[in-house]
Amino acid sequence: MAENTVKNNSEKTDIFDRLQAVTEWYLTRRKRIRRIKKEKQQAKNPVLDWLEAFIWAAGMVLLINQYLFQAYQIPSGSMIDALLIGDRVFVNKIIFGPELLPGVGKLPSPVKPRRNNVIIFENPSYSSLGPAFDIAQRIIYMLTLSIIDIDRDEDGQPKAHFLIKRAVGWGGDQITQEQGELNVRFSGETRWVAERDFNEGRGFGHRISRIMEQDGYPALEARGKIMAYRELGLAPPALLESAAAPVNAMRYPDLYAYDRARLEVLRAVQPQKNQYRAIYHARYARGWYVPEGRILPLGDNRDNSRDGRYFGPIKESKVLGKGFIIYWPLGRLGPIR
């Protein structure tokens, strides 16, 4: 009996000794690893240390910009008064599904753009210098929070690679423009509704800006007709010349109305030219039809916006994000509406 007791005590002592040895080995090893790490950090070149920190921070910025929120600078007045020239904004990129890589693929999302959202998308008229340049440009642009943009035209101005507009036209809509004002016939409807009346009835708070005065349209239309006469090699009537004089003082004329007046003369003088009749019917009489799965993006500043009226509706899948917040200047800090 006594022998068994002694044996059990000896086994317990062995277990405790082993546990103590393992614990001492682990603590000693951890202390050694920490000492070595500390010595390496002390011996490290300060430049390399700074470089490591920068690379880590840059990686975080890229991840946030690519998949969550991206910074952009507003280059033009096409979205006045919602967005002003020079505003710096963050765009919510996760809401509609971010791109896997800059310009490559897109993750799916159950959330779709809604009417009158402020959206960002790649400019359909943009001329790319190649995928390698596009990725490099977007990485630099994101790392500097929109301060540095290497993608510039021959005059040194940033190219309009991305556009920020309002999602106005929806799948099934038909839209016409008369003297700068839009009328919409919604999908399944037979009546036309003025855009301003629709927005007011739905409580949309954004403002549609107009630079051109309504009383300037007679002069603008006269200038368009004069251009048609000159294209035909004919002398324009003197009455048109005097009526068109005020156009020279217009900074942002409604080019859509100007071209409509021009085309009216061309098809009236040369009715045998089917091209004039077809263009007039498609562009001015019928307006814009928005196919299903597409959006017609327009600027709030209708007289100073190169938008879907020129390049047509875009695919919903091409929408990269939704305007989220203005972060600079601080006086305009607030959500984008």
Instruction: Name the residue with higher pLDDT: 89 or 273.
Output: 89
Q: Which residue has the higher pLDDT, 16 or 176?
A: 176
Q: Which CATH number fits domain 68-210+290-335: 3.40.640.10, 2.40.50.250, 3.60.21.10, 2.10.109.10?
A: 2.10.109.10
What is the per-residue pLDDT across 95-132, written as a single tens digit (0 to 9) for each? 999 888 777 778 889 999 999 999 999 888 887 777 77
Mean pLDDT throughout 1-16? 55
Domain ranges of the chain: 68-210+290-335, 214-279
Output the pLDDT for position 262. Answer: 93
What does the radius of gyration of the chain's CA atoms come to, in whole angstroms? 32
DSSP-based three-state secondary structure for 89: strand
What are 11-69's pLDDT values in tens digits? 556 676 677 777 777 777 877 777 767 666 655 567 777 777 777 877 787 788 788 88
Residue 124, token pair as written in the block: 């359909």
pLDDT of residue 6: 44
State the angle between helix axes of 131-143 and 46-67 in degrees (0 to 180), rounded to the nearest 10.
110
Confidence of residue 5 (pLDDT cuts 50, 70, 90): low
Does position 2 have pLDDT exceeding 60, yes or no? no
The pLDDT, as a whole number, for residue 14 is 67
With a cut of 80, say whether residue 296 has pLDDT above it: yes
Name the residue among 270, 322, 3 with its Cα closest to residue 165.
322
SS percent in the chain: helix, strand, coil, step 5: 45, 20, 35
CB 166 within 8 A of CB 119: yes
133: confidence class by pLDDT, cuts 50, 70, 90: confident
* Residue 103 and residue 134 in contact, taking contact as beta carbons nearer than 8 Å: yes
CB 292 within 8 A of CB 188: no
The token pair that represents 201 in the structure block:
């009835």
